[in-house]
């Protein structure tokens, strides 16, 4: 009897493991992807945005290898083996760096002019800098697709308007007052994402935010985030309209070689 139960348990565990493996294989969540798939998906995204970029990526891999082989042959002997290995390593490094840059450009191009496009730029803020930036997408919005995002980091507390400036101004003003009432010692910075005068283009938004003077330490950021939770708890529980946005998490992992 015990033997049969052990067999049943083993069979059940095997079936569950097989199902989990299959689910992970077919998952659309970048967190479940391996490095190879992350690279493949990133490459596909880049080539879809601009087919000519495939030749640039190919050159990044091939040119350093060719140069390394030529140098090795000129030097003579077995030197070419060492230069070949070095060339391959340099080629892979350049390929990953360029792929990362092109992934960002592809994302901006794919969602340019669409509601919520600024969120693509905000996704780029969660990288490896300390203290880190964090963001909350669409803390408020309207039926027209205009949204206000919030970012917290070393540069302070930011409210980013994403959509029509005329409709966003009252929303930004109201959110600024709401935040300043609770966070009385923190200055709220408002930014409009767009291409008009006085606005920040989406493809330059992340860089603009990261260049802000550092006014908060890591401990101050954590304290601010805990106080923000109290503000969000008081907010209406009604759903905020927001458009579908891409997940760049897997792409960021891929270009870092994780």
Tens digit of each residue's pLDDT (9 = 90 or more) over 132-169:
888 988 888 888 889 999 999 998 999 999 988 899 99
Q: Residue 8 has what pLDDT?
A: 67
For residue range 72-119, what is the model confidence (pLDDT) as tens digits?
888 887 788 889 999 999 999 999 999 988 988 887 777 777 777 888
| Euclidean distance between CA atoms 137 and 150, whole angstroms | 6
Beta bridge partners of 74: none
| Euclidean distance between CA atoms 95 and 11, whole angstroms | 45
For residue range 185-214, what is the model confidence (pLDDT) as tens digits?
778 999 999 888 888 988 889 889 988 998
- How many residues make up the chain in this entry? 258
Please say whether the beta carbons of 33 and 247 come within 8 A: no
Per DSSP, the three-state class of 157 is: strand
Q: Residue 86 has what pLDDT?
A: 92
Q: Say yes or no to pLDDT of 33 above 50.
A: yes
Greater pLDDT, 49 or 252: 49
Greater pLDDT, 26 or 90: 90
Please say whether the beta carbons of 215 and 154 come within 8 A: yes
Question: What pTM, to 2 d.p., does this model score?
Answer: 0.66
Q: Is the peptide bond before 206 cis (omega within 30 degrees of 0)?
A: no
Percent of the chain residues topping a pLDDT of 90: 24
Confidence of residue 250 (pLDDT cuts 50, 70, 90): very low
| Euclidean distance between CA atoms 193 and 200, whole angstroms | 5
Greater pLDDT, 143 or 184: 143
Q: Residue 239 has what pLDDT?
A: 47
Cβ burial of 162 (10 Å; 0-12, 13-18, 19+) is: buried
Q: Residue 216 has what pLDDT?
A: 87
CA angle 225, 147, 50 (to 5 degrees): 105
Q: Say yes or no to pLDDT of 244 above 60.
A: no
Beta bridge partners of 181: none
Tokens of 233: 């708890």
Q: Residue 240 has what pLDDT?
A: 47
Q: Residue 160 has what pLDDT?
A: 94
Q: What average pLDDT does the structure give for the chain? A: 80
Q: Say yes or no to pLDDT of 242 above 50.
A: no
| Euclidean distance between CA atoms 179 and 86, whole angstroms | 53
Q: Residue 9 has what pLDDT?
A: 66
Picking from 256, 249, 243, the residue whose alpha carbon sits closest to that of residue 118 is 243
Q: Say yes or no to pLDDT of 1 above 60.
A: no
Angle between helix axes 202-210 and 79-111 (nearest 10 degrees) is 110
Domain boundaries, the chain: 33-111, 118-237
DSSP alpha helix (H) spans, the chain: 2-25, 35-49, 53-75, 79-111, 118-123, 165-182, 202-210, 218-234, 249-255
The CB density around residue 74, as the number of other CB atoms within 10 Å, is 10
């Amino acid at each position: 009897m015990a033997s049969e139960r052990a067999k049943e348990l083993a069979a059940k565990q095997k079936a569950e493991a097989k199902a989990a493996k299959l689910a992970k294989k077919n998952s659309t969540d970048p967190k479940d992807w391996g490095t190879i798939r992350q690279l493949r998906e990133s490459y596909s995204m880049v080539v879809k945005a601009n087919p000519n970029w495939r030749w640039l990526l190919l050159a990044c891999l091939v040119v350093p290898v060719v140069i390394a082989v030529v140098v090795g042959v000129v030097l003579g002997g077995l030197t070419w083996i060492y230069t070949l290995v070095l060339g391959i390593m340099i080629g892979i490094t350049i390929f990953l760096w360029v792929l990362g840059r092109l992934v960002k450009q592809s994302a901006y191009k794919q969602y340019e002019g669409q509601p919520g496009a600024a969120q693509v730029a905000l996704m780029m803020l969660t990288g490896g800098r300390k203290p880190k930036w964090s963001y909350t997408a669409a803390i408020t919005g309207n039926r027209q697709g205009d949204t206000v995002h919030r970012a917290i980091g070393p540069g302070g507390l930011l409210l980013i308007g994403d959509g029509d400036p005329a409709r966003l101004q009252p929303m930004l003003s109201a959110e600024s007052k709401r935040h300043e009432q609770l966070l009385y010692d923190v200055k709220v910075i408002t930014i409009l994402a767009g291409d008009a005068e006085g606005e920040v283009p989406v493809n330059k938004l992340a860089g603009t935010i990261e260049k802000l003077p550092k006014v908060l330490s890591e401990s101050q950021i954590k304290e601010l985030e805990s106080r923000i939770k109290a503000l969000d708890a008081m907010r209406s529980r009604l759903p905020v309209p927001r458009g579908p946005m891409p997940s760049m998490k897997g792409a960021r992992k891929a270009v870092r070689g994780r």
